[in-house]
Chain A
C-alpha cells in the first residue's frame, strides 16, 4: 500500500473533473484520479451543444434560460442554482472559446447557436437558438479542449486509478474529509490519497439499464462510495430517457437533429409530436417526447415488424446540412444500422441517458451530509452531483453547461478550502474496507457470474423502472434487486491476478449498480406523483402539495447488520418562479 499526500484530490477526469482541475491546479497541489484515461470519459459522447444566452443569432437573455431550466425540471429545480447556471453560462462558453474550443461560427465569425428542446424565447413563446455547438461533436470538443488545457497547466493525472472509498474522520463530532482510497488497475496495488479537499466528478450511472446511451464504465462509482459512507443521495428516482437512441442499441442521436429540423414519425408517417406539444412539437422537453414515443408504440402506431420503435426522419434536410451539422450521428446510422439517413428514416427508441439525482451539493459544490450540513472539504460536480439545476428533468445542452459552471466552482472552492485548512488525520487502517472488498471478491468461490446478474438487473430496470412506472412495477423492481443482491454475495471472478484485472473491476462496478438501482426504485416507489422524468401511471398528475420536495435517501445499517434505505425530504429552493402547469 502506498500513501500519497495532496492538497486537493479530484476523482474523475471528464468535463467536470478536468474543469475543476484547471482551477485547482493553479491554486493548490492537485491530483486527478481517474478510472479511464481522461479522453475516454463520456463527456466526449455528448453531441448537440452547450446552452448559453449569448444572443449571437437572435434576442435572448439569461433570465429566459433560467425560466426554461426551472420549467424543464418541472419545478423541482433549486431556483437559486438555476439562476447561477444560466448567468455563468455566458462566461463558461466564452472561457472555453478562449481555451481554444473550435465552435461552429456565424457568418460574422461569432459562436453559432441552434435550437434545442425546451429552450424558448420569452417564457415559452417559441424555440430560441441558445445551444452553442461544434457540429454534433460538442462534447468531444469540450473534453479535448479541457484535456489540452490540463496539459498546458501541468495537471497531475493518475490514470486508471479506480477510487473505491472515501475517508472521513470525525473531528470534534464533525465528519471531515481525510482522503480517498484507490485501486491501481495496472498493478492491483492499493493507494491511499490523503487530501485536504476531495472533489467527486466521476459521472453517471446509466449502466443499470439495458438500452442506454451510457458507456460501459458509467457505473455510479462516486455515488455508491459516498452512499456507503452514510451520505445521502438526492432525487435518484429522476432518470432521463433521451427520446432518440438508436433502436435496441441505445446509441445517442442528438436532439440537435430535431433542432436542425428533424421530425419524429410513427408508422403512418404522422408527425405525432404535434398532438402532444402543439407549440414546441419535436422540441418539447425530453420527458414529454419520450412519453409520447412510448404512447405511440403502446397504441399500435410503432414502426417495424414488432411495432417497437418510431422514426427520426431527416430525409427532407439537404445532405449538405447533414454533413456540416450532423456528421457523426449520420455516420452512426450508416455504421450500426446499415442505412442511409439522406434517404431512410432512422429507427429510434428512448434510451436511458442521464441521472438528474446524485450526491447533494450546495451552489459552491460543497457536499451535504443532510438537508443543510456541509461535509468540510468534500465537493462534487457534474452528473455525480445534484445541485439541483436539473430538477425532475434536465434540458438538453444543460449538462455540458453544468459540468463547466459547477466543475469550475467546485475546483475553486476545493482549492481555497485546502489553502485555509490543514490535513485531517487519516482514520486508523485507512485502506481496510477496500482491501476487504478487493480480496474477498478475488478469493470468492461462489457460482454466480457478474455478467448474468448485471443482465438480470438491466432487464428488470428496463421493464419496471423506465419511462412508465406503477406501484406494481416498482415493487417488482425492488424485489428483483433484493434477490440480485443476494445472488451478488455469491459472485466470483475467474481472473485471480493483480495486473489489469478488469474481471474484478466489473464485479465491483456491479455492486455499485445494484446499490444505486435499489435507491432509484425505492425513491420512485415513494414518490406518488408524476413529475418530469418520473411518471407514475397510477399517479399521473404532479402533486405540489405533497411532493414538491427533494428525496434524500440514506443507507442505514441495523444492529443486526441488515441494510435498509431511509427516505427523507428536502424543500425546493424557490425564488421568483411560481409552479405552473407545464405545457410545450
Chain B
C-alpha cells in the first residue's frame, strides 16, 4: 500500500522543509500618516532581520511588535482569505499576507503605502465605507420571482461554472484601488462592484439581471472602464476582472446573459 514518497522529493520540497532560519536584512519603507499627530505624511525606513520566506505582513508585525506599536494596518486571517490587508507594495496592489519577501526583491527597500483613491485615515488604514457602498448599490444578492421550490433550485454544473470566477471575490479592494479611472473619479463603481454584479447576472438562478444592468448602465457605471487590466493584475484571487467587466458590457448591449 505504501508509496515511496521520499523518492518524490523535489528541490522545492527540500527547500520548503529546510528548517534553518535564513537571515537577511531588509529595509521596509512605510508611508506614515496620523492626522491626530500631524497633517504631514512621512516615509519611515525600518531595518529588519527577516527570513526571505516570511511575508510582508510578518515584516509589518515585526515593526509593530518590536519597534513602533503605533504603526497601524488592518489584518486578520493572514493567508489571503479575509481581504483585510490589501496595500500598495512596491507600487503594486497586493495582500501583505500573500506576498513573500523573496518574491519582491528584498535587496532593495520595500515600499508599503495604503491603497490609492480612498481616504487615508491612519498609516495603511483607509476609509472602506464608499467601497462597500458601491458594492451595495449593485444589489449583490440573488433576486428571484415566484414561489420558492421545496428543495434546492436545480443548476447544472455548466451553469454553475459560468460565474465561478467572480464568486471568489473577497472584497479586499485591490482591484478598485488599482484602477486609474477610480483614482480620478471616486463616483465610479469600480471593478469590485462590477465583479459582484457579474456574479449574479450570470447566475442561472437569478432573475434580477435587468435591474442590475440598469444600475451599471449609469454614467458612473461599467462604461467608464478603459480596460487597462490593472484590476486583473491586482486581484489576489486571480479573478479575470477585466474579462468580467467586458462580459457585463456585452450583456448590456445584447441583453443576453
> Which residues does A use to contact B, with CB under 8 Å?
36-37, 39-42, 44-45, 93-94, 97-100, 102-111, 134, 137, 140-141, 144, 148-149, 151-152, 159, 186, 215-217, 247, 249, 251, 265, 267-271, 274, 303-306, 309, 311, 313, 315-316, 328, 332, 335-340, 343-345, 347, 449-451, 493-495, 497-503
Contacts and interface: CB of A to CB of B under 8 A. Distances in A.
18 contacts: A37-B84, A40-B74, A44-B82, A45-B82, A102-B163, A140-B170, A148-B140, A148-B142, A215-B78, A215-B82, A265-B2, A269-B3, A269-B4, A303-B17, A338-B15, A499-B36, A500-B125, A501-B72
Nearest to A451: B65
B136 interface: yes
Contact of B1 (A36, A108, A271): A271
Interface size class on chain B is: 35 or more
A51 to B, nearest CB: 16
Nearest to A41: B82
B23 to A, nearest CB: 16
Interface string B129-172: 10010011001111000001101111111001001100111110
B81 interface: yes
Given A45-B77, A215-B77, A313-B3, 11 more contacts: A39-B82, A41-B82, A44-B170, A108-B154, A268-B6, A304-B17, A337-B12, A345-B8, A493-B69, A494-B70, A500-B123
B96 to A, nearest CB: 12
Interface string B102-128: 000000000000000000011101001
Contacts of B121: 186, 499-500
A100 B142 contact: yes
Contacts of B156: 105, 109
B91 interface: no
Main secondary structure of the interface of B (DSSP, over half): loop
B82 A110 contact: no
Given A39-B82, A215-B78, A332-B79, A494 B69 contact: yes
Contact of B6 (A41, A267, A335): A267
B32 interface: no
A497 B100 contact: no
A39 B141 contact: no
B240 to A, nearest CB: 14
Interface centre among B68, B80, B129, B163 (most CB of A within 10 A): B80
Interface centre among A102, A106, A268, A304 (most CB of B within 10 A): A102
B190 interface: no
Given A216-B75, A303-B17, A39 B170 contact: yes
Contact of B157 (A99, A105, A305): A105
B19 interface: yes
Contact of A311 (B5, B69, B70, B100): B5
B48 to A, nearest CB: 14
A449 B65 contact: yes
A339 B132 contact: no
B22 interface: no
B76 interface: yes
Contacts of A100: 141-142, 200, 203, 205-206
B186 interface: no
